[in-house]
Structure 1
Amino acid sequence: MRLYSALVGLSLIWGLSFVFIKWLVDPIGVWGTVFLRCLAGGLILLPFLWAKRKSIVRPIPWKALLFVGIFNAGVPWGFIAWSETEIHSSTAAVMNALTPICTGLVGFLFFSIVLKRRQWGGIVLGFFGILVLMEFNIVELFNESFIGIGTMILATISYGVASQFTKRHLQETGVILITTCSLFIAAFVGLIGMLFTGSVSRISWDLFSEPLVWLSIIGLGCFGSGIAHLLFYYMVKSGSAEFATSVTYLIPVTAMIWGYVLLEEPITNYLVLGLLIIFIGVYLATRKPRKGKIASSV
């Protein structure tokens, strides 16, 4: 019962994160959103890292952690915030469900991972789901409307690169160390982005007088970027990796509900159909073959 409660709770937190991004990106900008959410998340995890300090692997793989911090948090969260300046939070959440598919594709292209026919079918189906979301208006990806759908695709590709890199180079590194370092590195990425875009001035004391801003920073940073990761790895440890990653199927659903209730975003037929197609694609791309079934038949 605790595992299922954790699963539902995590899907609600991560689904609500897309609403928090929508609330933050307008007053503080794309990179300000990245900076504040990562800083808050990193600070909330510091006591947990301190408690685990004796079990930290030595020497600390700083170069690998730097790479993961940039491509698993800094860059993709910037792309997601950028996307939500143009598309609904619920659409961004549905697009985010492509992450397992892009992870498999990145593994094939850059990490010498062999994909079976079933997995290729899932990848093709997942990208067909994107076309449905776009109402088959593929021209939008090649003009000024690239910001939105296009940047969400880049975010999921970045997640895929970071996931494959983590699996290969950080297998022996503790989860708390990876997550905490990633958040602080991503906060630095956000700060650099703010300096280059001239959005530092957006963060002022007057900004923090807005209750919605505080709520979004706490919800997105402390819960969505910090505590949620602990909840996820609790499910991995107490249940299984497969059980924990099943949250992928729930997040877009809860995000659609949150978006409808809090932002009055429409739930269109194309959105629901695209979501279902992407789900089927994710299932095919990540499903493990049954025991005793030969690989060539998959």
Structure 2
Amino acid sequence: MLRLYSALLSLSLIWGLSFVFIKLLLEAAGVWGTVVVRCLAGAIILLPVLWVKRKEVIRPIPWKSLVIIGVLNAGVPWGLITVSETKLASSSASVLNATTPIWTGLLGFLLFSTKLSKAQWVGIATGFIGILVLMDFNVQELVGESFFGVGTMLLATACYGFSTQYTKKKLGNTGVVLITTISLLVGAVVGVIGMLFTQPIEVDKLLNAQSLLVIVGLGCFGSGIAQLLYYYMVKEGSPEFASTVTYVIPVTAILWGYVFFKEPITTQLLIGLLIILFGVFLSTRKVKKREKVLVS
């Protein structure tokens, strides 16, 4: 458990800063260019590791499942998060990201036959109340122009929730390095496709010390090493345990957002965060043994 909690803490620190890195990279790389850069930078540091461990790779390789994970745990959600950060402060985006465990539980129930206790259902409902508080109860934001902020962020976390459950079910015996590397390469392909229809990467703007540092931070650490830690927690712990990394991410992201961008830490933001985290706590509690017997 010590290793799992160490991985959890490390991942929360890395991903908390990633929200800031996305903001810094957006202007030069664009939405989908940011996805390409972070995926390729992460894959580059993992390919040599995968080559060294090639004899340990499971056969036959589950290509279909790996591609699905690459699309739904890297390419699409990272694009949606980047879109969100064109409209939201990085701190608000990180708070909405904290709904990932709620989606993990809900989609696990709907699609993967996961049993949920009454407390978990209350947690899911509580989490969505927290989202409404963060939005100042302006539900129209989800259907109006502001959809490209709150709405896209929620879609991204739903992708995370699905892919977490799918990884545990379909790739339980697949090596972490293989899952991570292939998902990043697939994510890069998704980014290239998206970039064909949107803003291209302005290479000249990336050739400076700050941009290169951001690429290393977001790609090598935020994508490569972080994805290794995440899949390690899914495989050695559980999908629910891995998704609890979003408990700590908002705290670090809010602090980084204030340090780098002077983003205000409002009362509404903090109240929304606390309600969402309470919902996450309830929604990730294990079903009691007695309840399992009753529903089986």
Aligned to 2:217: 219
1:259 to 1:123, Cα distance in 2 relative to 1, 3 A:
same
Superimposed CA distance per residue, residues 80-104 of structure 1 (whole angstroms, 9 cap, x where no aligned partner)? 0000000000111111111111111
Distance 2:121 2:256 in 1: 32
Aligned to 1:101: 102
Superimposed CA distance per residue, residues 35-54 of structure 1 (whole angstroms, 9 cap, x where no aligned partner)? 00000001111122112111
Does structure 2 retain, via aligned residues, the 8 Å contact 1:12–1:251?
yes
Does structure 2 retain, via aligned residues, the 8 Å contact 1:98–1:126?
yes
Tell me by how many angstroms 1:211 deviates. Answer: 2.2
Distance 2:232 2:161 in 1: 22
Distance 1:4 1:165 in 2: 22
Q: What TM-score results when the alignment is normalised by the length of structure 1?
A: 0.90
Does structure 2 retain, via aligned residues, the 8 Å contact 1:86–1:147?
yes
Tell me by how many angstroms 1:11 deviates. Answer: 1.9
Aligned to 1:286: 284
Distance 2:114 2:4 in 1: 32
Aligned to 2:274: 276
**Mean CA deviation greater in 158-167 or 215-224:** 158-167
Distance 1:240 1:13 in 2: 19
1:151 to 1:5, Cα distance in 2 relative to 1, 3 A:
same
Does structure 1 retain, via aligned residues, the 8 Å contact 2:104–2:243?
no
Distance 1:212 1:280 in 2: 37
**Mean CA deviation greater in 106-115 or 137-146:** 106-115
1:209 to 1:280, Cα distance in 2 relative to 1, 3 A:
same
Q: What residue identity is the alignment partner of 2:246?
A: T
Unaligned runs of 5+ in 1: none
Tell me by how many angstroms 1:3 deviates. Answer: 7.0
Does structure 2 retain, via aligned residues, the 8 Å contact 1:120–1:285?
yes
Does structure 2 retain, via aligned residues, the 8 Å contact 1:74–1:186?
yes
Of 234, 244, 262 in structure 2, the residue corresponding to residue 264 of structure 1 is: 262
Superimposed CA distance per residue, residues 201-243 of structure 1 (whole angstroms, 9 cap, x where no aligned partner)? x332x12223221111110000010112334566778x95577
Aligned to 1:56: 57
1:56 to 1:189, Cα distance in 2 relative to 1, 3 A:
same
Distance 1:73 1:271 in 2: 27
Q: Give the secondary-structure state (helix, strand or coil) at the position aligned to 1:282.
A: helix
1:271 to 1:295, Cα distance in 2 relative to 1, 3 A:
farther
Distance 1:265 1:75 in 2: 26
Report percent identity of matched pairs. 61
1:158 to 1:231, Cα distance in 2 relative to 1, 3 A:
closer
Does structure 2 retain, via aligned residues, the 8 Å contact 1:32–1:203?
no
Aligned to 1:203: 202
Distance 1:157 1:37 in 2: 21
RMSD after superposition: 2.3
Superimposed CA distance per residue, residues 247-283 of structure 1 (whole angstroms, 9 cap, x where no aligned partner)? 3211110000000111111111111111111111111
1:281 to 1:244, Cα distance in 2 relative to 1, 3 A:
same
Aligned to 1:43: 44
Unaligned runs of 5+ in 2: none
Distance 2:251 2:51 in 1: 36
Q: Give the secondary-structure state (helix, strand or coil) at the position aligned to 1:29.
A: helix
Q: Give the secondary-structure state (helix, strand or coil) at the position aligned to 1:11.
A: helix
Q: What TM-score results when the alignment is normalised by the length of structure 2?
A: 0.91
Aligned to 2:181: 180
1:3 to 1:16, Cα distance in 2 relative to 1, 3 A:
same
Tell me by how many angstroms 1:28 deviates. Answer: 1.4
Tell me by how many angstroms 1:170 deviates. Answer: 1.2
Tell me by how many angstroms 1:139 deviates. Answer: 1.5
Q: What residue identity is the alignment partner of 1:106?
A: L
